[in-house]
Amino acid sequence: MNLKPVRRVVTGHDAEQRSIISSDGAPTVIPFKAIPGTVFYELWNTNEMPVRIDNAPDPTHRQLQLQPTRHGSIIRIVDIPPDSVQNAVPAEEIAAGFAAMGASHAVEGQHNAKHKVMHRTQSMDYGIVLAGEIWLLVDEGEVRLGPGDIVIQRGTNHAWSNRTEEMARIAFILLDGKFDESL
């Protein structure tokens, strides 16, 4: 399956405060080097709430971060390769890839996990499957997802298992979160 190129359109304001198209084209593209074929398309991010509405420069020109900053958000698209690719990568390289995103904590204690890429973030994530087939794995269950299916991922330990030989693509909206003391 050939995935369509990702296009991002950003609006803004001109000097007379009229709305304009600020940019139209490819977003910031960051390959996740730990797992060949995994690509992050960074569409936008914010670092405060409420969000400042201005004509600031593109905030995606920064090092890849797994989760949003405090009071922040991220919208991204992720291409996920088949498990046959993911499973060929040593666990140490996957851990190093998470560490490079400032998220080594997300994979700590995952030595006996159901999947090599099990991780947990302190964020509320909305995932929308755009293409392909993907399995959401959690500690005590799993579910098959296809195009149009939506996941509300509430800070749980999870992984994305692509059991086909085609790429899968998911759009994610990540919001900064805070674990309840009971979790």
pLDDT score for 109 = 65
Q: Is 142 helix (H, G, I), strand (E, B) or coil?
A: strand
pLDDT score for 91 = 84
pLDDT profile of the chain (183 residues), mean per 10: 93 96 97 94 96 93 93 97 93 87 76 83 96 96 98 95 97 95 78
Do 173 and 125 meet the contact criterion of CB atoms below 8 Å apart? yes
Q: Is 119 helix (H, G, I), strand (E, B) or coil?
A: strand
- Domains defined for the chain, CATH in brackets: 34-176 (2.60.120.10)
Separation between Cα atoms, residue 4 and residue 10, nearest integer Å: 19
Residue 90: how many other CB atoms lie within 10 Å: 10
Residue 43: how many other CB atoms lie within 10 Å: 18
Q: Is 80 helix (H, G, I), strand (E, B) or coil?
A: strand
Do 36 and 85 meet the contact criterion of CB atoms below 8 Å apart? yes
pLDDT score for 111 = 66
